[in-house]
Structure 1
Amino acid sequence: MSSKGATEVSFEAYHPSAARISLRGRHFVDNHDRVLDLRGANVGSASKVPIRPCPPFHEHAKASYVGRPFPLDEAPENWRRLKSWGLTMMRINVTWEALEHAAPGKYDVEFLDYLRKLLISMNEHGIVAYVDVFSRYCGGSGAPGWVVEAAGFDLSDDGEKLALSGSAFLDGIRGGRLQGERGLWPTGYQKLACATMNTLFWGGETFAPSFKVKGEDGREINIQHYLQDAFLKAVDKLVESVGNLDGVIGFELMNEPHPGFIGLSSIHEWNYNTDLHLGQFPSPLQSFSMGAGHPTPGVPIYVRTFPWPTRKSHTVTANPTGANVWRRDGPTGGECPWEKEGVWRWSDKKHSAMAMQEDYFSKDRKGNKVDFYRDCFFPFVKRWEGVVQKRAHGKVRLVEAVPNEYCPEWPVEHRPSNFVFTPHWGSEQKSRPDLSFAQPVKDAMLMSSRSFTTLYWGKGGAKKNYAHQIGTLVGEARSKLGEVPIVFGECGIPMDLNGEEAFSTGDYKWQERMMDALVSAMESSLVGFNLWAYNPHNHDHIGDDWNAENFSWYADNQRDKDLQERSEKGSNADGEDLDAGGRLLDAIVRPYAVATAGTPLSLFYDAETALFTYRFRSPLRLVSEETTVKLGEVTELYLPRRTFTKANTQWNVSSGGRIHFDWENQRAFLWFVDIPPERRVQDMVRRVDIWVPSRTRKAGVNLIQGIGMVVALLLGLALTYYVQLVEWDRDKRVYSRQ
């Protein structure tokens, strides 16, 4: 059917709710068995930290998260904005600390009441969510302070001993602007505090069998059971509070689980290919020494480089003041638990830490090789599922694997029911994607790839590169899991590229091109996703106010600036303009199939030309034109009004297609009236193309420009290699003097 005429009928736009969403194979489906394309945002990054000003670490019981991600009176406008952008499935970030910051078993009833009201208001605006519990330790986000103290760490003086000893990265969560390198927080996973807490949580019974604490009944239990029991009770309280809401489709196990030291073959090093080596990066053994209060020489400093992600620049003596992170009145009596377990000891004679059991974390108590997933992760997933099942029987259970790794082998018997796999992807790129020489891309799953396949050229290359990365991750997951739904729980692009250039120029074209490449990659793999992040309280100077990240593509203060600028120019400054304050909207706000009456085959959208092409397979519909169309036979498309209007849009639909546009609600409805085919078939491949003729592609690169780019590329690579040689020569001289 051509663009000359559209059918005049009436349909109601799909309103998502938990009661109308279920799983079928790799798909989410509605109550009419239509396949749903669920996409949305993380709401939001501000929820990782308490309401500012935060109390000091040693006063963690006073923390409050009421009003995170935003106050209740601001919620309706935020939900309207997100829905108008076609984003209708949110990932709500809730920290363990928000639930239980005061003391073990003392839950924040005020926060739970706030959260319930927030989620009710969300669903009233046609949005659903799944709730994720953040539980990182020390420099990440999530765990209550009393949990860290229960493991023996000293949080006095605002956590000063943790910082001085290099046992945790804390600068980024104290608020304000972070100076210097602003990508250090992921290295917190390998710092002593975080790695120890994760090891005790997942494998305390195996790796710290002598570590006992008093349980709820006063009897001594292993630290692993204490931590896991406390976490699951907090989850139970959360599910009890919001699990019956129709706007909550499910719960996620936890954000970015990490094994800590478990599985390391040697305490002398971390894995460069999975763990970001940046800044001060001690080995596990060095971190034991530092945490125990010993000035530790030879700790490497890593810096960013090219073409590899990072390289060792020089070494320093870490913890020169001798700060000890272990509480004398704590369960370890002021000693490092790994020294008590015989993993290492301090040699007064050699003034250094000595490894006593180098491969300690690779074997269980019987000497068998440890597998983190089989021995630690999968058993806990089953315990967690039991908690969710008890109070939220029909909800989906979302689980992700360890960040920076491919999906593991995951036997069916170890999967929760209603299972959805939720990997993460995040660009580490710091400069624009269209430079005259190729830029390396590092994502959260392929962080340290030492291959020139990570290089790309221009925005076209960025699209191919991102599509390859996402496609590889999805392909690996499909090979391990089969027909299981996949939703990328986090994926985003930093706003502060090129030294924050866009903040002064207002030109976000490089970020927009990267975001377009990212969303296009998700669409080409036909997976759901939650963009990182939607944070109305983002500010250019401090970003998202958490670990110096600046990923939010909307900000209230930017909205005020946009409206003021329009008012000064005499143009429409309507306070209800929901696009005001948004960034990268041409890449984020894009057409897609909300609900497909059939099986999706491919989705393509060119943000520059506004060409949308969607292909799917659906059963033959051999009926007359007058036959009433059932909703289960109708494919619903989202068409953003910022791009598509009645006056500027044309379309084509494959044979037998009928289309109805609801411009006010940004929808198009598509169905088919087929004639008997020449050969016997049960279904047909359908196609719809929608475009804006006035949008044309800008002129490409001519021959002279192309030659110039190639020359610039070669010169850039040569210069980079020369700089590396100079730096390596300098480092050799520095090392030779040590």
Structure 2
Amino acid sequence: MWTLYAAGLNPRTFPSTQAAWVQNTYPNPAEYPKMIWATNYTRLACQVIFTLFFGGKDFAPKAIIDGKNIQDYLQDHFFEACRHLALRIKEAGDIENDVVMGWESINEPNRGLIGWQDLSVIPEDQKLQKGPSPTAWQAILLGSGRACEMDSWEFGGLGPYKASTELVDPKGDSAWLPADYDDSRYGWKRDPGWKLGECLWAQHGVWDPSNDQLLKKDYFARVPDSGRKINYEFFTNKYFMPYYRRHRKAITSVHEDAIMFCQPPVFEIPPTIKGTEDDDPNMVFSPHFYDGVTLMMKKWNRYWNVDLFGILRGKYLSPAFAIKLGETAIRNCFKDQLSAIRKEGLEYMGNHPCIFTEIGIPYDMDDKYAYKTGDFSSQSSAMDANHFALEGCGCNGYALWVYMATNNHQWGDLWNGEDLSIFSLDDKPLPLHPNPNSEVPGNLKNTLSTPSISSQKSNTPAEIGSTPGFRAAEAYVRPSPIATVGNVTSSGFDLRNATFAFSLECKNPATEEVPTEIFLPDFHFPRGNTAVEVSSGKWTISVDDIDGGLIQRLRWYHEAGKQNMTVKGVQRRQDMALGTEEEAGYLEQCRQSKCNTM
């Protein structure tokens, strides 16, 4: 929170000035609009903070605190905090390079106002709009207490659309700290040239508060010294990368062999560093991906979706051609988008692993229908489609957003109306063994019983959560390689038919000492009811105690060369209508729903 005060902002007036939409300050948190927090990127608070953090020296030279420009002040504190944490981890002696392998640069960086060509209009690349949607100029006026009439948007079937106009009146409240604010609370000294009680952009001549006239609508459009026009790609290379280099240096000064997870701005072109000094062998490209249609509408639409990444890269003559019809086309669209993101990383950043460090789905779809019925079929379909994309795009790993230990049906993740947690106090955990009467060694029967993660339920209203389900766990509890002898050429799990297909190519054979190992979840692959076919060698399945938990593993001792494996488990009607062997799969399911397929 101190960073907001350091930037001269007053978070207490954010609600009235709409400088940010936050659920805990909304008049009635239970009625907080769906996913409206996502538009905070184009509201005053985020625009100010990101602009100052990455470009304060260029665009706010008067913002001096403790003798430093606000850009250096914020970044230096961030670097030092990360360096201090790295130092404490190193001092612990048994965490570095084991528990903590690497460090991500910063979560979902954004350019703020840097590169905006005209503050008075909404730029064409601002695809996400919901609720009252101010231009940057209107956001500046609102932040100084002026009333503004602006367009209000809804998110519909084909994306955002203008629904109405709305008058927003802060009634004189200012999003900036008052002139008499006492900075001594935080112990810093603000330069006299940085006046509190007045908009920082007004102090830099962007507008005139005496008559509310916009004087420099292109103030952030060019680099002040050179006049070079700024676009997002320029921002990434000339503003984000200097930050990243300093961050990397701070971490590696302590954790010398740390893996650096470089996360450029979401969905933007990665930095052009291939073949340069920044092409660090210890770097990982760590993008994020969410299906925007499902995330914003909180509904799994199995009939159509949109190739958003393709639109952003100019792949289509018209956005209409980016619409994908039918569940098979949607799944392939996700895979193609993730593949394209990974390919861009290779082209611009060099040969680095690609790990999607955020991907997930909203669980409170269809007005929390699953919480009332226990039917998580939509969530299973959405989660399975995302994993189909992850497995098919050739990435090197992923992290699901999110595991929230206190999630419940009423309040979700307890953050701005989001509900993406794979765990909830109000849902049942997936059984470690689906059939307790199956043949299980006696010494494992007690250990394999379903664990109790929480000793008590949350205080969710009775009408919600009376029929708990497994929270679509069968869609994300999937088989995957743990360690391979050779390079993986393909790996994928067909949830519908409970079939895992895997192939690799290796120069040397797998041995008893060094086999290829596959995680095989016993929910889908119960012991005694799993069929394995391999191109060569032999295999074993065992349940092993690894890092304090029981893990079922398949060990494969194969020959050299191109090898493949197929593992057939048990089809289940859990949270998802899994169909029958005779069905042709997702395409056929779509046809049965009278849906056209592109």
Query: Normalised by the shorter chain, which TM-score bucket?
Result: 0.7 to 0.9
More helix by share: 1
Question: Aligned pair 1:669/2:555, yes or no?
Answer: yes
* Partner SS, residue 503 of structure 2: strand
Q: CA offset at residue 173 of structure 1? A: 7.1
Kindly provide the amino acid, as one letter, of the partner of residue 605 in structure 1: F
Instruction: String of CA shifts for 1:284-335, please: whole Å, max 9, x gaps.
Output: 11111111121123x221111332x112222223234121122213543211
1:344 match: 207
1:659 match: 539
What is the alpha-carbon distance in structure 2 between the residues aligned to residue 704 and residue 474 of structure 1? 30
Paired residues for 1:622-633 under 5 Å = 629=511, 631-632=513-514
1:388 match: 251
Instruction: String of CA shifts for 1:590-627, please: whole Å, max 9, x gaps.
Output: 11111111011111211111111111100154xxxxxx
Question: Aligned pair 1:268/2:120, yes or no?
Answer: yes
8 Å CA contact 2:518–2:554 kept in 1: the answer is yes
1:427 match: 291
Q: CA offset at residue 406 of structure 1? A: 3.5
1:641 match: 522
* Partner SS, residue 402 of structure 2: strand
Question: Aligned pair 1:194/2:46, yes or no?
Answer: yes
Instruction: String of CA shifts for 1:45-78, please: whole Å, max 9, x gaps.
Output: xxxxxxxxxxxxxxxxxxxxxxxxxxxxxxxxxx
8 Å CA contact 2:144–2:174 kept in 1: the answer is yes
1:721 match: none
Q: CA offset at residue 234 of structure 1? A: 1.1
Distance change in 2, residues 1:703/1:182 (3 Å): closer
8 Å CA contact 1:274–1:404 kept in 2: the answer is no
Question: Aligned pair 1:608/2:488, yes or no?
Answer: no
Q: CA offset at residue 172 of structure 1? A: 5.3
- After the TM superposition, which of the residue ranges 166-175 and 455-464 deviates more from structure 2? 166-175
Select the residue among 146, 151, 173 that pairs with 1:300: 151
Select the residue among 357, 368, 372 that pairs with 1:504: 372
Question: Aligned pair 1:516/2:384, yes or no?
Answer: yes
Kindly provide the amino acid, as one letter, of the partner of residue 555 in structure 1: S
Q: Give the TM-score taking structure 1 as reference length.
A: 0.66
Distance change in 2, residues 1:706/1:524 (3 Å): closer
8 Å CA contact 2:248–2:260 kept in 1: the answer is yes
8 Å CA contact 1:274–1:447 kept in 2: the answer is no
1:4 match: none
Structure 1 spans left out of the alignment, 5+ residues: 1-144, 215-219, 567-571, 622-627, 674-682, 715-738
Question: Aligned pair 1:239/2:239, yes or no?
Answer: no
Question: Aligned pair 1:529/2:409, yes or no?
Answer: no
Paired residues for 1:669-688 under 5 Å = 669-673=555-559, 684-688=561-565
Question: Aligned pair 1:551/2:400, yes or no?
Answer: no
**What is the number of residues matched between the two proteins?**
531
Q: CA offset at residue 205 of structure 1? A: 0.6
Q: CA offset at residue 651 of structure 1? A: 1.5
RMSD: 3.4
Distance change in 2, residues 1:453/1:517 (3 Å): farther
* Partner SS, residue 556 of structure 1: coil
Instruction: String of CA shifts for 1:129-158, please: whole Å, max 9, x gaps.
Output: xxxxxxxxxxxxxxxx22111111123xxx
Select the residue among 697, 702, 705 that pairs with 2:581: 697
Distance change in 2, residues 1:620/1:396 (3 Å): closer
Paired residues for 1:550-569 under 5 Å = 550-559=419-428
In percent, how many aligned pairs have the same letter?
A: 26
Distance change in 2, residues 1:222/1:706 (3 Å): closer
Question: Aligned pair 1:456/2:308, yes or no?
Answer: no
What is the alpha-carbon distance in structure 2 between the residues aligned to residue 265 and residue 464 of structure 1? 36
* Partner SS, residue 253 of structure 2: helix
What is the alpha-carbon distance in structure 1 between the residues aligned to residue 520 and residue 407 of structure 2? 28
What is the alpha-carbon distance in structure 1 between the residues aligned to residue 481 and residue 289 of structure 2? 23
Distance change in 2, residues 1:425/1:447 (3 Å): farther
Q: CA offset at residue 702 of structure 1? A: 13
Q: CA offset at residue 708 of structure 1? A: 7.9
1:56 match: none
Distance change in 2, residues 1:597/1:172 (3 Å): farther
Distance change in 2, residues 1:560/1:480 (3 Å): closer
Q: CA offset at residue 410 of structure 1? A: 2.9
Question: Aligned pair 1:591/2:479, yes or no?
Answer: yes
Kindly provide the amino acid, as one letter, of the partner of residue 668 in structure 1: L
- After the TM superposition, which of the residue ranges 586-595 and 664-673 deviates more from structure 2? 664-673
Distance change in 2, residues 1:315/1:305 (3 Å): same
8 Å CA contact 1:648–1:694 kept in 2: the answer is no
8 Å CA contact 1:301–1:313 kept in 2: the answer is yes
Select the residue among 167, 189, 211 that pairs with 2:19: 167
Kindly provide the amino acid, as one letter, of the partner of residue 85 in structure 2: L
What is the alpha-carbon distance in structure 2 between the residues aligned to residue 253 and residue 291 of structure 1? 30
8 Å CA contact 2:53–2:71 kept in 1: the answer is yes
Question: Aligned pair 1:335/2:198, yes or no?
Answer: yes
What is the alpha-carbon distance in structure 2 between the residues aligned to residue 631 and residue 523 of structure 1? 28
Q: Give the TM-score taking structure 2 as reference length.
A: 0.81
Of structures 1 and 2, the one with the larger relative CO (CA 8 A, separation 6+) is: 1
What is the alpha-carbon distance in structure 1 between the residues aligned to residue 214 and residue 68 of structure 2? 30
What is the alpha-carbon distance in structure 1 between the residues aligned to residue 313 and residue 32 of structure 2? 21
Kindly provide the amino acid, as one letter, of the partner of residue 414 in structure 2: D
8 Å CA contact 2:50–2:112 kept in 1: the answer is yes
* Partner SS, residue 340 of structure 2: helix
1:479 match: 347
What is the alpha-carbon distance in structure 2 between the residues aligned to residue 442 and residue 178 of structure 1? 30
2:224 match: 364
8 Å CA contact 2:326–2:596 kept in 1: the answer is no
* Partner SS, residue 413 of structure 1: coil
What is the alpha-carbon distance in structure 1 between the residues aligned to residue 197 and residue 61 of structure 2? 18
1:223 match: 70
Q: CA offset at residue 257 of structure 1? A: 0.9
1:542 match: 411
